[in-house]
Structure 1
Amino acid sequence: MLNLNNAFDTVEVRESLKVAALDIGSNSFHLVVARIVAGSVQILHRVKQKVRLADGLGLDGSLSQEAQQRGLDTLATIAESLQDFAPESVRVVATHTLRKASNAKDFLQAAKKVFPFPIEVISGAEEARLIYQGVAHTNHQTGQRLVVDIGGGSTEFIIGDGFETKVLRSLQMGCVSYTNKFFKQGEIKAKYFSKAITSAQQELEMIDKKFNQLGWKACIGTSGTIKSIIELASQLDSTNRENCVSLTDLKILMDLCCAAGNSNDLKLEGLSDDRRPVFAAGLSILIAVFKSLNITEMEFSSAALREGVLYEMGDQLAQKDIRQRSAESLATRYDVDIEQAKRVLNTTMVLFHQVRKAWDISYPELKSLLGWSALLHEVGLHINTRGIQRHSSYILQNIDLPGFGQEQQNVLATLVRFHRKKIRSTEIAEFTLLQQSQVFKLIALLRLGVLLNIKRQDDILPDIKIAVEDKKIILTFPEDWLSQKPVFSADLEREVDYLKDIDIKLQY
């Protein structure tokens, strides 16, 4: 007789990691909750909310209050379903609209009041890379492939092989922005399609030559726009493979759109009400993509940006941290003194671990940003010794760094900018991922790590104790050590004055 009370008692329970990824897109907000078990991602829950954030992006570049409120209301709803998640198990990325909005900081500050997780505004290249990772982990074709993702405000293009990307591009065209530009009030005419397709092909002139030269064996489309198009194409009398679309199919769908005359009258079976208003714009972009890149057939992948985020969150799946690859590439390109970088890193981490709890900076991402800034603080030395901190900051802020979000790069650039010489607190921007007081604390720790290794020699530092009291740092050296190091003493004396500008008192 079956005894349900004892069911599964002998089943071995493997350790799992529950994670969530939220994609704040220009058209929709997508939440995916998953667990990672034995190196595989198991999707538990998906939520899609149509927000149309890009609808509120005005000609002056500002995001309207109405659009902001739609976004905030959606974030508040999503926050309820993430109540039990630790901060490090949730990653939130924002794309085109918040990249472009001149008042994005206002929205991000308001979001803090209703949404407890930090929001990263990622670059177009980083968005493309994460999209590709989502596809690469769920599609197993061999050889080079082209991935296309049409979003609300931008379209991403990637060529890669296996898990490695070869070229990443993000173009300023999306189904929401093109609807507002070419299909106003829902009007659909052949001449509007022609203008939209031509405009998209003009954008594609920036990449078509290089992409066609590289070539690919398989072409994969992601996102809701391409999904809708392929689902509708499957109803046509087509010889395509299942889950695929051709240029002939796209032209037939365009004719059907023009016959309807208005998106409100577009009654294609399977076309959802929320997709109907932006369908023609997305279709026009895809037609242009097929023409400019000479695509014969495209298949669909359900995995995209949020899945890419999930896979990177699982340490079990990471063959090697993408940020480590980026940092190593940068160090090689700019001939960083590796031994000195490691000295500064080691000292900075020793200090960090002694104060992280008292200073409330234990969050793993803060440790990572401090560590990467220690390793990369001298990339600007390749340009000139004089003003190295400014050169290093400029490089870190402007170079393509896969794995780092836009704000993460800005934080790195800020830490490195003030790793030596005077600190100008008025030049330190406010961030959404970190509080300003946390930025100040990281700057102080990095500066001490650099200062204590100014001799660029191994084994000259004794055991150093550090304690903190609110905005006060107390350094303790072995008895009589400083008295024998007059240059160190002078450097520390000068540092006392420098740190005053970020309201930190140094005592030693």
Structure 2
Amino acid sequence: MSPTETVFDAVESRDTTKVAALDIGSNSFHLVVARINAGSVQILHRLKEKVRLAAGLSDDNVLSDEAIERGLKMLGLVAESLRGFEPDSVRIVATHTLRKAVNAKAFINAARTILPYPIEIISGVEEARLIYQGVAHTNHSDGRRLVADIGGGSTEFVIGEGFDPLVCRSLQMGCVSFTKRFFAHGELKSKAFNRAITAAKQELEMIENHYRRLGWTQCIGTSGTIKTLFTLAQRDKKNGHVQPVTLKSLRHLAKTFIEAGHVDNLTMPEISEDRRGVIAGGLAILIGIFESLDIDGLIYSPAALREGVLYQMEDEMKHSDIRERTAKSLATRYDVDTIQANMVLTTSLNLFDQASQGWKFKSRDFRAMLGWAALLHEVGLQINSRGVQRHSAYILANVDMPGFTQEQQELLSTLVRFHRKKIKIQEVPEFQLYDTAAVKRLIAIMRLGALLNIKRQEAFLPDIQVTTSKQKLTLQFPQNWLDGRPILSADLQQEKQYWKVLGLELDIIDA
């Protein structure tokens, strides 16, 4: 046997975890496969394909059959790369176009037949936060930094320091949508550029004062659009050194584009064929960003959303959950009674764990979502104690919640909305990732967790036994315990009636 065949025999192997992140963007789909080794994320494989979902989005926010077909075709290629991956090791996030598309469910349902992994539609703010995490983990910087990412349908802006994002925003402008709007026929005219730049600055009016007050020491751009523009801006650097993009260099690029007259004449090798059709919209947006935010110079970072997703997965594997910080922030902001919240949490999770033996909740999200709902179900008390369930649900549906996807946030809002009083079954939404029957059961458990702690007394509840059958849950109390608590007993009898609209039966045993 040769030395090369035995040289590694005595080398100890470390435990590694293989993970993958797929970014379903408005312009491109990006897959990144990596391994997590000793706390380090090591990129193994990348796959990128222009799909241009945003180009298939109508003015009525209907995604065309052609765009859906392009997306599904790409997912077929992704499925090959993900063969053999465990469900917990893959995360798929979708951004602006699927956020906007009224028929996003049609795409996601079709995707289920191709990929056995859930697709999460994330909010613009969550997208911005994850982009920042990707940049922060791969670019060292002292002081505050501004990160901008021009996507196909939206542009994200984050100011952060170290690994902590301070403010995140997502604006409704992207290279695909701006190209459709201002350069639809490929003509590159001065008036079109001016109109596009003005439109970008109008969008930026919402954030410019706040961002400029916060300030930054470094500006970083991500995404393929900014990469292309960054590379183009280096073409005339005689010393060969890479330098930050400036407003002057971007204006010079715009002049070059206008002189070319049409996107077909943008034959610079730095512009790929599939980027050529949308680069003008991206350039106009970037000029608008520079002018509105008074940026001196911008450097490029290849890390973006998918890398941020990978690092988020790595953090979660170390049990550091951004959602904990979100929940704590909301509890502080809305002055939550944390003692009561923890009592409801303890009871709800105890009931869930016992009920799970028969009800078999399949989603790994359910226990965590029930827990977050229990902790935050009274945030609406800040508005009014009357109708607290409606106020709490509204807050959780509309507040920025870093770490939660849109569906997770909607599930939280739903659980809180129906944690007490009558259940309007027609208002329980249909979810893509969660089975409707399971959601109804989760609502039932959440209601019991809140009801059993209605007296707001610590150490009040006895040991309660739970058994379940297909559509039935039985609570067994110690013998005669409810006899001395007639009001709670009456509340539980009323709860039986509320459960009927869920298609569930509640049985109470006090013996």
Q: TM-score, structure 1 length as denominator?
A: 0.96
Partner residue, 2:71: 71
Matched, 1:232 2:232: yes
Separation in 2, partners of 1:343, 1:449:
8
Separation in 2, partners of 1:390, 1:373:
13
Partner residue, 1:223: 223
Separation in 2, partners of 1:318, 1:262:
51
Separation in 1, partners of 2:484, 2:397:
40
SS in 1 for 2:274: coil
- When residues 80 and 478 of structure 1 are mapped into structure 2, their CA distance, relative to the original with a 3 A threshold, is farther
Matched, 1:483 2:483: yes
SS in 1 for 2:273: coil
1:176/1:281 contact within 8 Å kept: yes
Q: Deviations along 1:304-363, whole A, 9 cap, x unmatched?
A: 111111111113786842211111111111111111111111111112122325322153
Task: In structure 1, give the amino acid aligned to 2:172.
Answer: Q
Separation in 2, partners of 1:319, 1:56:
39
Separation in 2, partners of 1:99, 1:467:
40
1:39/1:317 contact within 8 Å kept: no
1:230/1:243 contact within 8 Å kept: no
The unaligned stretches of length 5 or more in structure 1 are: none
Between 316-325 and 103-112, the greater mean CA deviation after superposition: 316-325
Partner residue, 1:382: 382
Separation in 1, partners of 2:250, 2:462:
71
Q: CA deviation at 1:240?
A: 8.9
Task: In structure 2, give the amino acid aligned to 1:364.
Answer: R
Partner residue, 2:247: 247
SS in 2 for 1:356: helix
Separation in 1, partners of 2:347, 2:243:
55
SS in 1 for 2:12: coil
Partner residue, 1:54: 54
Between 379-388 and 478-487, the greater mean CA deviation after superposition: 478-487
- When residues 316 and 442 of structure 1 are mapped into structure 2, their CA distance, relative to the original with a 3 A threshold, is closer
1:231/1:243 contact within 8 Å kept: no
Separation in 2, partners of 1:120, 1:411:
13
Partner residue, 1:356: 356
Separation in 2, partners of 1:4, 1:506:
68
- When residues 341 and 494 of structure 1 are mapped into structure 2, their CA distance, relative to the original with a 3 A threshold, is same
Q: CA deviation at 1:476?
A: 2.1
Between 410-419 and 85-94, the greater mean CA deviation after superposition: 85-94
1:38/1:316 contact within 8 Å kept: no
SS in 1 for 2:29: strand
The unaligned stretches of length 5 or more in structure 2 are: none
Q: TM-score, structure 2 length as denominator?
A: 0.95
SS in 1 for 2:315: coil
Partner residue, 1:307: 307
Query: For residues 437-456 of structure 1, what are the structure 2 equivalents within 5 Å?
Result: 437-456=437-456
Separation in 1, partners of 2:239, 2:447:
65
- When residues 92 and 344 of structure 1 are mapped into structure 2, their CA distance, relative to the original with a 3 A threshold, is same
Q: CA deviation at 1:144?
A: 0.7
- When residues 343 and 414 of structure 1 are mapped into structure 2, their CA distance, relative to the original with a 3 A threshold, is same
Partner residue, 2:323: 323
Q: CA deviation at 1:380?
A: 1.1
1:151/1:175 contact within 8 Å kept: yes
Partner residue, 1:151: 151
Q: Deviations along 1:55-82, whole A, 9 cap, x unmatched?
A: 0111122111211222222223323322
Equivalences, count: 508
Partner residue, 1:198: 198
% identity of equivalent residues: 57
Task: In structure 1, give the amino acid aligned to 2:370.
Answer: L
SS in 2 for 1:350: helix
Separation in 1, partners of 2:11, 2:488:
61
Q: Deviations along 1:164-214, whole A, 9 cap, x unmatched?
A: 122222111110001111111211122221221121122222222222222
